[in-house]
Amino acid sequence: MGEGLALGIDIGATNFRLGLVSSDGVVLERRMEGVGRDRSARGIVSQVERCAAAVGYNGVVGVGIGVPGIVDPSCGVVYRSPHYPKWLNEPVKEMFEDTLGLPVVLDNDANMAASGEGWRGAASGMDNFIMITLGTGVGGGIVCGGRLFRGEKGFTGEIGHMVVDFDGPSCACGGRGCLETYTSASGIPNILGRLGEGDRRRIIDAAGGDVSSVTPRLLYELAKGGDPSSSLAWRWFGRYLGVGIASLVNVTGIFNIVIGGGISRAWDCFISHLEDEMKKRLYKESASFVRIVQASLLDDAGILGGANEVFKS
């Protein structure tokens, strides 16, 4: 399937993005829609199909789809998705193939983003790299020898659920102290928990008094405006992410790290703290090889990754 066009579809927690992509990696057309209220797999498949029909299938050789959740790419089943509780053992690949009448490649959204960054983004030319996506949760994808590393069932790269803190806060996965409990939008309250009472109070007050209103965006704006309390929060954020990356480097021996997802826009606020902490945790031989770069494709990563996996299949 090396020629023609592909549809890349990136299904997020609340929206999906769809793009028509050429075989040289140009997004010729893109759409975004909020997911309808039903949120069943069947409902989303129908909605995506209408959107795809509006863009047109002319010359499309296949469709690459990233979904947030536990996916087995070999059989195309989504076992579970934290954002779509109705999805349980859904044969999503088959549903899309029946509806669209085209071959479908299905994978976890973070794996697709990794594939996209490796093709046309910040990891272009890197044979081995790890992609970390920082959003509501923390996702990951591992690329080895130019291909997504799949493990046995494809449940690889669940980087957000590496434990960095044995007795740490409860995680959505049922565990405790996972990386995601600190370095994601949902982990912000735990980051604030590492601050002194005064600093924490200042930030919560700036959010109108409610801790659940403290978003990464607000923390970013406060820090950019010179607020020292939110800079301290970013320091803790960077330190936890640095520990997570050190663990990843130690386990995988992969030295190129690409960080994307919405929170990566606050790069300047955390990168130096991340690197300092990571170096403390690595042998200097490893630390000297590590290269951490910001993802470059932003919202197109999943679309391009989906298309890349189609052209490579």
| Member of 253, 268, 272, 298 binding a second copy (CB under 8 A) | 253
Spatial separation of the C-alpha atoms in residues 279 and 283, rounded to whole Å = 8
Spatial separation of the C-alpha atoms in residues 104 and 300, rounded to whole Å = 19
DSSP 8-state code for residue 35? P
User: By C-beta, is 230 or 256 nearer to a second copy?
Assistant: 256
Side chain identity, residue 296: S
DSSP 8-state code for residue 150? -
User: By C-beta, is 73 or 216 nearer to a second copy?
Assistant: 73
Element (H, E) at 261: none
Spatial separation of the C-alpha atoms in residues 108 and 159, rounded to whole Å = 12
Q: Which residue reads 């902490």 in tokens?
A: 277
Side chain identity, residue 82: P
| Member of 176, 202, 265, 312 binding a second copy (CB under 8 A) | 176
CB of 127 to a second copy, least distance (A): 8
- Three-state SS at 222: helix
Spatial separation of the C-alpha atoms in residues 51 and 34, rounded to whole Å = 11
| Member of 8, 64, 168, 261 binding a second copy (CB under 8 A) | 168
Looking at 6-14, 24-32, 163-171, 260-268, which segment touches a second copy (CB under 8 A)? 163-171
Spatial separation of the C-alpha atoms in residues 18 and 9, rounded to whole Å = 4
User: What token pair was written down for 212?
Assistant: 């659940």
End-to-end alpha carbon distance in the chain: 6
| Member of 30, 39, 153, 265 binding a second copy (CB under 8 A) | 153
User: By C-beta, is 17 or 273 nearer to a second copy?
Assistant: 273
Count of residues in contact with a second copy, rule CB under 8 A: 50
List the interface residues with a second copy, window 100-129 (CB under 8 A): 128
CA distances from 233 to 55, 146, 176, 294 (A): 43, 36, 20, 20
List the interface residues with a second copy, window 37-96 (CB under 8 A): 70, 79-80
Q: Does 151 participate in binding a second copy (rule CB under 8 A)?
A: yes
Looking at 30-38, 41-49, 209-217, 253-261, which segment touches a second copy (CB under 8 A)? 253-261
List the interface residues with a second copy, window 276-295 (CB under 8 A): 280-283, 285-286, 289
Q: Does 134 participate in binding a second copy (rule CB under 8 A)?
A: no
Looking at 7-15, 35-43, 45-53, 252-260, which segment touches a second copy (CB under 8 A)? 252-260
Q: Does 6 participate in binding a second copy (rule CB under 8 A)?
A: no
Spatial separation of the C-alpha atoms in residues 48 and 95, rounded to whole Å = 11
| Member of 24, 125, 166, 225 binding a second copy (CB under 8 A) | 166
Q: Does 248 participate in binding a second copy (rule CB under 8 A)?
A: yes
CB 30 within 8 Å of CB 18? yes
Rule CB under 8 A: which residues touch a second copy?
70, 79-80, 128, 140, 142, 144, 149-159, 161-168, 173-177, 240, 243-244, 246-248, 250-255, 280-283, 285-286, 289
